[in-house]
Chain A
Amino acid sequence: MSDPNERLRLGVDRDRCVGAGMCALTAPEVFDQDDDEGLVVLLHPEPAPGHRAAARMAAGLCPARAIILHSPDPTDP
């Protein structure tokens, strides 16, 4: 399990993103999609503790592995 005090840092790779929107659906506080191409927009690279679980889940659900977790924790969707 993840240590709640551990900081979670996120990255996104817009070249890989396929715009399926799983991230914006799962963790709307952390991810959005731009209006032009529908590609992922990272709102909070270091999400607040209350949003970390959703952010991890979004990373696991992303069909394109476009969300990068910089703290290696389980991401099982």
Chain B
Amino acid sequence: MSYNPTAPDTTADRTTGEPATLPTDRRTGCPFDPPAGLTAPDDRPLRRMRYADGHIGWLATSHAAARAVLSDPRFSARYELLHLPVPMPGMEGMTQVPPASPGDFLGLDAPEHTRFRRLLTGKFTVRRMRQLAERVEGFTHECLDAMEQAGPVVDLVEAFARPVPALMICELLGVPYADRDRFQGHVATVFDQTSDAEARGAAFAAVGQFIGELVAAKRAEPTDDLLSDLTTSDLTEEELIGVGGVLLAAGLDTTANMLGLGTFALLSNPGQLDALRADPGLAEQTVEELLRYLSVADPIARAALEDVEIEGQLVRAGETVTVSVQAANRDPLKFPEPDRLDIHRRATGHLSFGHGPHQCLGQQLARVEMTVAFPALFARFPTLRLAVPPQEVPLRDRANIYGVISLPVTWDKE
């Protein structure tokens, strides 16, 4: 199929003159499913979409279109070229996105992006991350011990889902043990949707200052960790602090939400959970399937640098394409019966870590953390269950990273 510019445009949205906005409401329906309308039966892998500032761009929902956009260098990740799919919470009036601040390589293209990426990839290899499995195990059991003492009835997010990745990222970045509580406290506030904007702003500033001090300390006295290594690179002080912040944000909120929402999903699918309990060898597969099924980090936006044809549709230079990871991961052409959580399926090829040059740098760490953490949790608490009705679990439906705000759980004491 090829695009014919002289043919009448038959996209329904255009004929009505009202392109839809990005569907974001998950409140009706299953908490693990994408918002209604996002994956509606639709033979157009790319459809017109209205952005927060009125821009008419595109929404990519098929697996093939998503992969094509994310791996094509004619699409840019530079923030200042993008239009926001939905208004930023708390910044509704913002129409233009500022360029990436120093060190925020997520908003850069090659070759600037490559420069940062090359400094970091060696620290996140499959082999290195597997070597960390033992540390993850140690932290996981510490958290489970504390949870056992505190309960039954604990908030699993606070007791388990947040601290496990937080301790690991502290370990990687080289946050001294004595500072970890202070650091974790600030970080928890930054990501806490229930605290007010002012408190979150103050916590955000505190995290920035914390990383600044940490960088200075590593420069004065390098230890065996990632930040110390980076102080010997050609990064400026500002860039170094920026990179630290990116790694922290990316390594924390994502995995924490996968652990929280993933536990909720497994508890809601007892058959699947039983299968995992019976065969812990399914852990890696379960993690891939949960990544696909939950797609917590979504969406991803790119801007066309020139006219590009994607799946037979012409995207014009300057137009933003929003790639819906959730929709792509529920594409029935790629994953049969996509709305079923099935830990026996081969979910490899999901786009939850993105695709293309920006594909998640920390994905192997995330995999190791989850592969260790989920089985350990269910082994320690064989009777783990929700302490509230499922519909009362508060969802992060306005956050960039989807998940649960808290997950009250209980179990039978021996």
Contacting B at CB under 8 A, from A48-77, are 57, 60-61, 63-65, 76-77
Does B71 contact A19, Cβ atoms closer than 8 Å? no
* Known A18-B359, A24-B127, A65-B71; contact A38-B121, beta-carbon cutoff 8 A: yes
Cβ-based interface call for A37 (8 A): yes
Cβ-based interface call for B348 (8 A): yes
A49 CB to closest chain B CB (Å) equals: 21
Contact with B along A19-55 (1 / 0, CB 8 A): 1111011101000111111110000000000000000
A23 CB to closest chain B CB (Å) equals: 9
Q: Which residue of A lies closest to B129 (CB)?
A: A21
A31 CB to closest chain B CB (Å) equals: 9
* Known A26-B348, A38-B121; contact A33-B127, beta-carbon cutoff 8 A: yes
Q: Which residue of B lies closest to A18 (CB)?
A: B357
A76 and B63 CA atoms in complex are apart in Å by 12
* Known A63-B71, A65-B71; contact A19-B124, beta-carbon cutoff 8 A: yes
A56 and B181 CA atoms in complex are apart in Å by 46
Cβ-based interface call for B379 (8 A): no
State which of A26, A32, A39, A76 has its C-beta within 8 Å of the C-beta of B121: A39
The segment out of B2-10, B157-165, B360-368 that lies at the interface is B360-368
Residues of A within 8 A of B (CB): 18-22, 24-26, 28, 32-39, 57, 60-61, 63-65, 76-77
Residues of B within 8 A of A (CB): 70-71, 117-118, 120-128, 348-349, 353-361, 363-364, 367
Beyond A25-B126, A33-B126, list 20 extra A-B contacts (CB 8 Å): A18-B117, A18-B357, A19-B117, A19-B124, A19-B125, A21-B125, A25-B364, A25-B367, A33-B122, A34-B122, A35-B127, A36-B122, A37-B118, A37-B121, A37-B122, A38-B122, A39-B121, A39-B122, A64-B71, A77-B348
The 8 closest A-B pairs by CB, nearest first: A19-B121, A38-B121, A77-B349, A63-B359, A38-B122, A33-B125, A24-B126, A21-B126
